Amino acid sequence: MKSSIQEKKDILEGKGRQGGHYCEAIDNDWSNTMPADGYEFYEREDGTVEVSYQHCFACYDGWDSMDHEAGTYGSMKEAVEEIWYQERVLQPAIKKLVEFKEKAIKHVRNSAQLRREIALYDFFKQELRYL
């Protein structure tokens, strides 16, 4: 199913999602929720679109947020499609590559350790023959 630009934009903005829980210092109640992280799209008068990403996080007295500039785009469609591609295609693909690399490194390390253990076993087996 192909999503419309507006549907993608709503998902990227975090609409319909709930943020994480936080505790107000004065009430010790963890049922409070922050806004969901998401992108904010600002359409300028000249038609260009400025995009930032808002990350919400818990802190000692409630919650706070940080804005990260994501860029300026020629149109809303361009902004949404570019960010959608980065979030939904590139980042998951990079994550899978990193996981594959980590598994390969672990396998190589395990193989090297296994070779050392076999060599040690063979050495002791040879030594035991002389006893």
d(CA 6, CA 9): 5
pLDDT above 90 (res 50): yes
User: Does residue 11 contact residue 38 with C-beta atoms inside 8 Å?
Assistant: no
Tokens of 76: 């809303």
pLDDT above 80 (res 24): no
pLDDT above 70 (res 130): no
Residue 131: its pLDDT value, please?
Answer: 53
Parallel, antiparallel, or unpaired for β 62-73 and 49-59?
Answer: antiparallel
Tokens of 78: 């361009």
Structural domains in the chain (count):
1
In the chain, where do the E strands start and end? 21-22, 32-33, 38-43, 49-59, 62-73
Q: Which domain holds residue 21?
A: 5-129
Q: Read off the pLDDT band of 101 (50, 70, 90).
A: confident
H or E segment to which residue 26 belongs: none
pLDDT above 90 (res 72): yes
